[in-house]
A and B are shown apart, each in its own frame.
Chain A
């Protein structure tokens, strides 16, 4: 029982606030959940783990009243309930922090936090109290966000914090957190964990969903594993290793999180940039990539990693600096000239910037190189089109019922593979992977790491931008650490560790070491 404070003689005495018994949910043709049981005690953090499509989201939607179960019972505070809408579950004290951000961009932070629940004075909104209450919620999280600014001016991480503040303001009995840290930095995640510990002490029951199993050790008491819509197990977190959980999630054991490298980094530099500056965003950024090497970009959110990659790719303007590929200086004005030069950029935001999700698999795969599947006047050759896309579906092991499947119906891992395939078809020289495994399940992550390693082994220069330090350390040969729009240090991965990287990333180091 792991020495939890509220256990007495091995029996947990905290009351069960929420209990699901044998719950099933069917959609036409798909059994999303079958016979899942789950219970949540007051003051505990109960993690729900499973791969994409395991039924976690469906389960949460049943608890919060988005879906109604086809079978089984939900008991809340000792009484059977069936919420018809999220408004009902919210009124009863069940709050959910969604994975997708549900904020209104043109309203202020305070207005978002109390949307539809504004404190009133007669017919009017009590603005003073609104601001004060919002400020209190934000202070509790320990974040420095002005409640008066419009949400559209905030970063993704700040939006996530506002979303969390909104849920806190409900004073919920049960709080559901769906991937709350996916866009937070290490530091911000720590702030969130502190709040979670406070909430636990106050007796709030928290259901916690995350792909980042390593961070669970900080806060999680029990863990329930789902697989393919079925209940697998519930255990005290302390009794399990992360490998145990992963093995249950995927139904087999995974020896290693990262593949054994097959690439052999050489000495010759294939790509280098120097003195890249975009006023107010980053300045004097220089790095090079050697043949067969994966270069990691580490740093906190907003340190300038994505911004540098986007500028090199021509998606944002550059004020100064030179870019050299194979000894030739490149003139990049827009993404087209960058692509022409052999640079590929895999965006951190797949759905917003990487894929045309309404379009089918094959159309997305050939999108960046239509000229290769069409004749000189631009008429598409259907056979070439089909063969080329089929080749990448096979090569990357993309799981799709057909080439004409709309991309939005595929899992995150397969979507990411389609973006990789799209760029591979372009035969790029340099690829920027921006958060390539965010929101992707464990098995698919491994496959993507393998692909990156193979590409590097084939002589493609790779930059890996990641907020997960273990990923940067596990996958790159050298790491450039960003802080405040500058590279603070470039370190050899095998000579460094998380502490040293964090030291530079937080801005404490000032010398630019060379690996």
Chain B
């Protein structure tokens, strides 16, 4: 009994682990495709039920609607990977938008300076969030909840709770213009649109998405963001400047909120201090649907973009089918629960 050593007593450790690793990767791929697949399924269902869904125009509308969720979602992904949360983005985008509008209208500044002021307002709010979290050591939930109320209050205060309008046609360029638009004037003098072009907000979303994904995957900074979310103590003891990197993620989130605010206000050519209420929840939902873990350490930009499209297509398609806003909320709520549940099943064991 003492020494059983036939060839079977040393089961090679490699094959089972190899198998598990492969199947882990397969699961990852399956999940990515599941999310993409559900997007396709949604699109097929909606185009069957509504003839207006599968048109170039509506596609652009969806993409436009998705941009704000996606931009905020990218910021949310950064923050959530470190194990934090940012509840303030909805209010911050409103503040950034009205700041941009007021700078243009009241100070008579060029539009690009106004927009820049708006974006920097967002960055400043993010920086304050980051400092409160890392220096005062308040929980992110509380820090950004405070900012959510403060930013909204300031936006209402400086506008007297009134919309800022009369900003001029060119204020709407960022939100309504598009790249590669092909237009000609026909014989009768009417414009003919042979290609509607890619709206600037969509271009912005693509460019920022690519940069954000590159930073997260291929740079030292991105590596530190994951490391902090995975184990902040280990990161600190490895020499990572945990405070600075954590604060940076809030600055990213705030800056993107500022940008989103400018884009939204530009589309309406009016700055609304009440814009963006509850957008933070859409941003968090898109990250979570895309596989970002609220515990931290896990998440991708591509997942978040897919999550944003899931929410955008659901809203648009349900609208076109005449589903009431209340029912929409119920359905999106269920989608969040089910996707996160599936994600947890995947990560269990």
Contact = CB atoms under 8 A, between A and B. Distances in A.
Contacts, number: 112
B246 to A, nearest CB: 15
Nearest to B25: A404
B185 interface: no
A380 interface: yes
Interface string A396-408: 0001011011000
Interface stretch (B3-11, B57-65, B109-117, B272-280): B3-11
A31 interface: yes
B21 to A, nearest CB: 6
A404 B16 CA distance: 16
Interface in B129-178: none
A359 B297 contact: yes
A228 B223 contact: no
Interface string A199-232: 0000000000000000000000000000111111
Contacts of A28: 20
Nearest to A53: B13
Contact of B220 (A339, A355, A358, A374): A374
Q: Which of A352, A378, A422 has the most CB of B within 10 A?
A: A378
Q: Which of B4, B221, B239 has the most CB of A within 10 A?
A: B239
A336 B20 CA distance: 37
B17 A409 contact: yes
A370 B220 contact: yes
Contacts of A336: 239-241
A374 B239 contact: no
A421 to B, nearest CB: 12
Given A228-B9, A367-B235, A399-B13, 6 more contacts: A229-B11, A336-B239, A353-B233, A357-B230, A379-B220, A409-B17
B244 to A, nearest CB: 10
Contacts of A29: 15-16, 19-20, 23
Contact of B223 (A229, A335, A370, A402): A370
Q: Which of B2, B15, B23 has the most CB of A within 10 A?
A: B2
B207 interface: no
A399 to B, nearest CB: 7
B14 interface: yes
Contacts of B238: 335, 339, 367-368, 422
A356 B219 contact: no
Contacts of B20: 28-30, 409
A359 B11 contact: no
A63 B11 CA distance: 24
Given A336-B239, A399-B13, A363 B227 contact: yes
Contacts of A358: 230-231, 297-298
A248 B11 contact: no
Contacts of A399: 13
A232 B17 contact: no
Contacts of B18: 401
B14 A378 contact: no
The 9 closest A-B pairs by CB, nearest first: A356-B230, A29-B16, A339-B239, A370-B220, A368-B238, A378-B220, A356-B231, A29-B19, A30-B16
Contacts of A482: none
B221 A356 contact: no
Interface in B221-278: 221, 223-224, 226-227, 230-231, 233-241
Contact of A230 (B9, B13, B297): B9
15 contacts: A230-B4, A232-B3, A233-B1, A313-B237, A315-B236, A347-B237, A352-B234, A353-B231, A353-B233, A356-B230, A358-B298, A374-B219, A378-B219, A401-B18, A422-B238
Q: Which of A30, A234, A248, A315 has the most CB of B within 10 A?
A: A30
Interface string B79-121: 0000000000000000000000000000000000000000000
A30 B18 CA distance: 11
A188 B234 CA distance: 29
Contacts of B221: 378
A355 B232 CA distance: 10
Interface in A1-37: 28-31
Contacts of B348: none
Given A339-B239, A356-B230, A405-B21, A228 B218 contact: no
A515 to B, nearest CB: 30
Interface of B is mostly: helix
A354 B16 CA distance: 27
B196 to A, nearest CB: 36
A371 interface: yes
Nearest to A354: B234
Interface residues of B, number: 39
Interface in A109-162: none
Interface in A345-388: 345, 347, 352-359, 363, 367-368, 370-371, 374, 378-380, 382
A380 B16 contact: no
B166 to A, nearest CB: 43
Contacts of B236: 315, 335
Contacts of B237: 313, 315, 335, 345, 347, 353-354
Contacts of A422: 238
Interface in B6-63: 9-11, 13-21, 23
Contacts of A378: 219-221
Given A29-B20, A232-B3, A405-B21, A380 B13 contact: no
B227 to A, nearest CB: 5
B17 A359 contact: no
Interface in B281-318: 297-298
A380 B220 contact: yes
A401 B14 contact: yes
Nearest to B10: A228
Contacts of A315: 236-237
Interface string A312-334: 01010000000000000000000
Contacts of B3: 232, 248
A443 interface: no
A251 interface: yes
A237 B4 CA distance: 20
B16 A356 contact: no
B88 to A, nearest CB: 27
B19 to A, nearest CB: 5
B239 A227 contact: no
A472 B6 CA distance: 38
Nearest to A347: B237
Contact of B234 (A31, A229, A353, A404): A353
Contacts of B218: 379-380, 382
Contacts of B4: 230, 232
Contacts of B23: 29
Contacts of A345: 237
Contacts of A374: 219-220
Contacts of B19: 29
B3 to A, nearest CB: 7
B326 to A, nearest CB: 39
Contact of B227 (A229, A339, A354, A356): A356
B235 to A, nearest CB: 7
Contacts of A251: 5, 9-10
Given A359-B227, A359-B230, A228 B235 contact: no
A279 B21 CA distance: 49
Nearest to B17: A401
A356 B234 contact: yes
Contacts of A363: 223, 226-227
A402 B19 CA distance: 12
A383 to B, nearest CB: 13
Given A232-B2, A356-B226, A367-B227, A379 B234 contact: no
Given A29-B16, A378-B221, A401-B21, A355 B231 contact: yes
